[in-house]
Structure 1
Amino acid sequence: MARAQAPLTRDPAPVRWGLRVVAVVYVVLLVAWPTYLVFENALKPGLGAMLDGLRDPDVAHAIDLTVTITVYAVLINLAFGLTVSLLLVRYDFPGKRLLSALLDVPLSVSPVVVGLALVLVYNGQDGWFGPTLERLGYQVIFSTPGIVMATVFVALPLVIREIVPVLEEIGDEQEQAARSLGANGVQTFWRVTLPGIKWAVVYGVVLALARSIGEFGAVKIVSGNVVGQSQTATLVVEETYQNFQQQTSYAVSALLALVAMVSLVVVAVLRPKEHKS
């Protein structure tokens, strides 16, 4: 049954147009214009020069590392996000509100603080777990595992906050009906629950992907920023810009922005529009 929609507010035309102008100007000055300037400067010497900058061995390694980190982070957040979303919506347990509040911590804590906290816990010299892990042959800080952990943390709530409202909206009547007909938990999830939340999952994954690609603060702390080893694409942007290699900095920035924008646009185009009642 379609839900009744709240009536739209009918303000005077000057008010409506004023609000539209303010919104458009705000978005243009804060988002569109700076992004345009990045692409303009990246393409100023030509597309070939931009691609040549991306082919530099150190830059190419940083991009490859960023892709690897992003894939791991998105997959971990997807699995964790689905599990926690079902836990928060479908079950009652002590500490549920506290868990829900803790999931928003990554949105409020500075990524630099996150990176420092990971160093204090996993540092191989005096961290809580670092020395033990290094004796077992595992290095977390200043290596790929530490970068993955930092990236997972900063993107943690994005999948969950997309899925939870949709799970609450669709309810559990169809899931109960499936169980009454003999479906087990796995069958119910794949055939009933997941189809109902698929677009929330997709959009949450895209947001997590964009956030993971662009992470800087936490990654800089835990990676060590070693050129050709633990340097990610965002760290390349900072280093090349500070070393007066602006063209390379613009090229990498444009690539990161393009990936994030294309992902969001593709999802917006493919996502089915809701039918009006």
Structure 2
Amino acid sequence: MVKHALRLVVLAYLLFLLILPVGLIAWRTFKDGPGPFLDALSTPSALHAFQVTFVVAGWAVVLNTAFGVPAALLLARHRFPGRRLLNALIDVPLAVSPVVVGLALILVYGAFSPAGGWLESHGVQIIFSTPGMVLATVFVCLPLVVRAIVPVLEEMGDEQEQAARTLGAGGWQTFRRITLPAIRSALGYGIVLSLARALGEYGAVAVVSGRVVDETQTLTLFVEERFENFDVQASYAAALSLAALAVVSLLATRLLRPEDGK
């Protein structure tokens, strides 16, 4: 009896919080057929928003992967002074509001800050351009790759890696032939999570981008801008596209997530 009641509570929670809102967006999007949906996403502004979104998300995933794998190896394989502090700092993006992150980046890399002013004097603009959007997205996605890999590394231990070294394998060879195959599923899981998070990021990107239409407008910002300008069809179409990308990412994470006991 309790089990059935809990199921009803969970289903009702998901129904009103997730299924109904997304279903309503889908109905509003396709109520006049697929034509308006395709037309709304074929405009130059929508296509540019898609392009900016994928460029920012792609760079964020690459940079987070390049940082996440070495950081996970450092935390799982080594003991050093400050390890607990580093471990805590990696989780800071989960606790800090993305809007605060965006403001902090403006204070550091804005045109009126020492670092930002020096960069702009040398022709490098960070804030209100793609590099600033990438930095903001990298920050909010920072823990995802690390937290996906560390438990797998700790569970597998380092016996095989040590055996490979005693047989003459170098560091890169050991990583390529022993470590990487063992963490491949976890790495893929972390990458897909980072991609999903990057595609849907709004707060930090909204602050550092300037929301310039056809220049620094991601798909999430496009949804807001179109809705505020009463172009609800374009807003619904872009929002449904984001939801579809989220569903695809969810399915990918289910396939890539390491199984228990493996």
- What interval of TM-score do these two structures reach, taking the shorter chain for normalisation? over 0.9
Runs of 4+ in 1 over 6 A off after TM superposition: none
* Cα distance between partner residues in 2 of 1:76 and 1:87: 17
Q: What is the TM-score when the length of structure 1 is the normalising length?
A: 0.91
* Cα distance between partner residues in 1 of 2:100 and 2:37: 34
Do the aligned residues in 2 keep the contact of 1:120 with 1:128 (CA within 8 Å)? no
Letter in 2 for 1:130: G
Provide the residue aligned with 1:198 in structure 2. 184
Unaligned runs of 5+ in 1: 1-13
Task: Pick the aligned partner of 1:106 from 73, 85, 93.
Answer: 93
Provide the residue aligned with 1:37 in structure 2. 24
Coordinate RMSD, CA, aligned: 1.5
Aligned length: 262
Task: Pick the aligned partner of 1:93 from 75, 80, 86.
Answer: 80
Task: Pick the aligned partner of 1:117 from 104, 111, 115.
Answer: 104
Displacement after TM superposition at 1:217 (Å):
0.7
Displacement after TM superposition at 1:270 (Å):
5.9
Q: What is the TM-score when the length of structure 2 is the normalising length?
A: 0.96
Q: Secondary structure at the match of 2:152?
A: helix
Do the aligned residues in 1 keep the contact of 2:186 with 2:257 (CA within 8 Å)? no
Provide the residue aligned with 2:149 in structure 1. 163
Residues 221-264 of structure 1: CA deviation (Å, up to 9, x unaligned): 10010101111110010111111111100100111111121122
* Cα distance between partner residues in 2 of 1:165 and 1:262: 25
Q: 1:114 to 1:192 in 2, by over 3 A?
A: same
Does residue 78 in structure 1 map to residue 104 in structure 2?
no
Letter in 2 for 1:74: V
Provide the residue aligned with 2:199 in structure 1. 213
* Cα distance between partner residues in 2 of 1:239 and 1:162: 35
Percent sequence identity over aligned pairs: 55
Q: 1:19 to 1:128 in 2, by over 3 A?
A: farther
* Cα distance between partner residues in 2 of 1:129 and 1:202: 35
Unaligned runs of 5+ in 2: none
Displacement after TM superposition at 1:19 (Å):
2.1
Q: 1:270 to 1:217 in 2, by over 3 A?
A: closer
Q: Secondary structure at the match of 1:155?
A: helix
